Amino acid sequence: MPETARSHAISKAVIPVAGAGTRFLPATKAVPKVLLPVVDRPSLEYIVEEASRAGIDDVLLVTGRGQESIIDHFDRSPALEALLEAKGDKARIEAVKHSAQLAAITATRQDEPRGLGHAVLCAASHVGDEPFVVQLGDDIIDGRDTILPAMMRAHAQFGGIVLALLEVPTEHIQRYGCAATTGVATTLDGFDVVAINGLVEKPAPQDAPSNLAVIGRYVLPPEIFPALRETAPGAGNEIQLTDAMAALLAQGVPVHGVVFTGRRYDVGDRGDFLKATVQLAAEREDLGPEFRSWLIEYVNNELKQ
């Protein structure tokens, strides 16, 4: 039986970014998906900021071939800073430095995209024998919502695996991993924490055990690495993280889910990415007022036609 009720303080996050980003082609032919700008910042910067706000100071990016520009974004850029300095543009100097100040950011290479589970396994030597966080770039969590710290607290209390869950309309559950639960275990920071006794990948609505979808935040114990090594390629011939988590669940590792009820911006496909861009731009203090007025006028004119 693996040791699961550890309560190490979590200091490391792993962000896999090596996927092919096929839904955004041709934009992602040369530009990694996580560098596509949401308003004026790469989507990945929002994700790293979320980790930093949760107290994580060590972020490992699992990158693929040709993604060196991702590392450049999180590095200092002395030439650019000097140029802005010469212009006296203090605000932009701060904006340019910001990404490099969020955490110690390093990268490891996934040789080819063999699935999310394989990408997480690439982090094994960096993570070592500690629990850690995994964040996926398709979900941007609003800075005012604190699901990641709540998940880390749930891990300190229950050990094992902690997932982020979102209630979705039943007809949408087939796009996600789905959790079977035995009810609410506790409430943390205003979020319900449920005990999970089953995980099903992309079920048909009539077969789904609930309408709770697994979204892109995980707290994982180090036992996930041996489980991933033993996981055969599954759906899409990829090594699936869900399969390794289901194997740990079957071995008796506790699995809990924190039910997210806050503001989340889906940047995983083109339509949702557009909605996220509009929402986040409308909420910005600098751009928001003018953008909202334009948007209202645009929508009113469209409705008249």
Contact set with ligand UTP (CB under 6 A): 16-23, 33, 62, 110, 113-116, 118-119, 136-138
CB of 29 to ligand UTP, least distance (A): 12
Name which of 136 and 224 has its Cβ closer to ligand UTP: 136
CB of 281 to ligand UTP, least distance (A): 23
CB 261 within 8 A of CB 168: no
CB of 44 to ligand UTP, least distance (A): 9
Name which of 122 and 227 has its Cβ closer to ligand UTP: 122
Distance between CA atoms of 251 and 300, rounded to whole angstroms?
Answer: 57
CB of 136 to ligand UTP, least distance (A): 5
Name which of 33 and 256 has its Cβ closer to ligand UTP: 33
CB of 32 to ligand UTP, least distance (A): 8
Please, which residues have CB within 8 angstroms of residue 278's CB and are 6 or more apart in sequence? 295
Name which of 36 and 208 has its Cβ closer to ligand UTP: 36
* Torsion sign, CA atoms 102, 107, 113, 114: negative
Token readout for 37 is: 């700008």
CB of 170 to ligand UTP, least distance (A): 22
Name which of 36 and 136 has its Cβ closer to ligand UTP: 136
Name which of 33 and 155 has its Cβ closer to ligand UTP: 33
- Element holding 6 (H helix, E strand): none
Name which of 10 and 15 has its Cβ closer to ligand UTP: 15
Distance between CA atoms of 162 and 113, rounded to whole angstroms?
Answer: 25
Q: ∠ at Cα 147 (151, 259), nearest 5°?
A: 80
Which among 264, 291, 289, 290 has a CA at the least distance from the CA of 278?
Answer: 291
The amino acid at residue 214 is V
CB of 48 to ligand UTP, least distance (A): 13
CB of 172 to ligand UTP, least distance (A): 16
**Nearest residue relative to ligand UTP (C-beta):** 19
- How is 53-92 classified by DSSP, letter by letter? HTT--EEEEEE-TT-HHHHHHTS--HHHHHHHHHHT-HHH
Please, which residues have CB within 8 angstroms of residue 254's CB and are 6 or more apart in sequence? 4, 5, 158, 159, 160, 161, 195
Distance between CA atoms of 158 and 265, rounded to whole angstroms?
Answer: 28
CB 169 within 8 A of CB 213: no
Q: How far is CA 149 from CA 50, 97, 219, 258, in A?
A: 10, 25, 10, 11
Name which of 90 and 109 has its Cβ closer to ligand UTP: 109
